[in-house]
Amino acid sequence: MTPGKTPETLADLLRTLERSEDLRPLARECGVSVRELRRRLSRWRRDLDQGEPTPAPAKSTAKKSEFEELPMAAALDECPLPDEGSAVLEVYTDGASRGNPGPAAIGAVFRQKGGPALCALGESIGRATNNQAEYQAVVAALGHCDRWGVARVHLFVDSELVARQLTGAYRVKSQDLRPLYQQAQHLARNFKEFRVRHVPRAKNTHADHLANLALDGR
């Protein structure tokens, strides 16, 4: 086909696209790599040339979540820890507030140490600040651990303030946070082993996802 000539057939159009120098925008739109898009264009053109057109696959609009669906902690009457493996229940919590203060929600993921995720928590809590939401997530998660009779709990939070206050490194000066801090400490004393660790937000994405789903009403 002469360069610059308008494609007259579908095969000509596919050939023009196939030879295009920049297919990245179209590849992103189709959800495939540039290399894969060129391969498909070439195959479709050959099919057309042979008189056997192959219909393009429909683009899926459903976005699969990267997080597995888990049973909700509130629905479990017994401890979700399996009989085999570690007896440590790892709890990842997060709080989210849109407005600070504003509409807020909490999220948590419960895992067996060295094992799989077992259950989750995601709830709207009304209006709160970010720090209040972070603490309420901790209190709610520890409340389930206490209800289940868990002996060993390792808590992971991405709020440095909450982590340092729970470990005694920081004093709790806020009158709004003090009651929540006291609830968390009261629950923590019920466990035979209790540890708190600060983790980067990138390692707490599942709990954050659950909190934001609750904020969105899902």
Task: Give the end of a domain, one of 32, 60, 88.
Answer: 60
Same domain, 43 and 105: no
Model pLDDT, residue 171? 97
Same domain, 131 and 208: yes
Model pLDDT, residue 66? 84
Q: Is 146 part of a structural domain of the chain?
A: yes
Same domain, 196 and 104: yes
Examine residue 80 and say whether the peptide bond preceding it is cis (omega within 30 degrees of 0): no
Same domain, 86 and 50: no
Domain count, the chain: 2
Model pLDDT, residue 16? 72
Task: Find the CATH number of the domain harbouring 182.
Answer: 3.30.420.10
Can you give the pTM of this predicted structure? 0.71
pLDDT along the chain (218 residues), means of 10: 57 68 68 67 66 44 69 96 96 96 97 97 97 98 98 98 98 97 98 98 96 92
Same domain, 131 and 190: yes
Q: Is 67 part of a structural domain of the chain?
A: no
Q: Is 65 part of a structural domain of the chain?
A: no
Per the CB < 8 A criterion, the answer to whether 155 and 91 are in contact is yes
The β-bridge partners of 105 are 96, 124
Same domain, 91 and 125: yes
Model pLDDT, residue 40? 72
Model pLDDT, residue 103? 96
Cα separation, 108 vs 214, in Å, equals 11
Same domain, 202 and 155: yes
Neighbouring residues of 199: CB distance < 8 A, sequence distance ≥ 6 = 92, 156, 157, 158
Task: Give the end of a domain, one of 13, 32, 60.
Answer: 60
Per the CB < 8 A criterion, the answer to whether 152 and 191 are in contact is yes
Same domain, 5 and 101: no
Q: Is 66 part of a structural domain of the chain?
A: no
Model pLDDT, residue 63? 46
Model pLDDT, residue 55? 46
Same domain, 109 and 187: yes
Enclosing domain of residue 14: 1-60
- Cα angle 68-112-167, degrees, rounded to a multiple of 5: 110
Per-residue HEC secondary structure of the chain comes to CCCCCCCCCHHHHHHHHHCCCCCHHHHHHHCCCHHHHHHHHHHHHHHHHCCCCCCCCCCCCCCCCCCCCCCEHHHCCCCCCCCCCCCEEEEEEEEEECCCCEEEEEEEEEEECCCCEEEEEEEEEEEECHHHHHHHHHHHHHHHHHHHCCCEEEEEECCHHHHHHHCCCCCCCCCCCHHHHHHHHHHHCCCCEEEEEECCHHHCHHHHHHHHHHHCCC
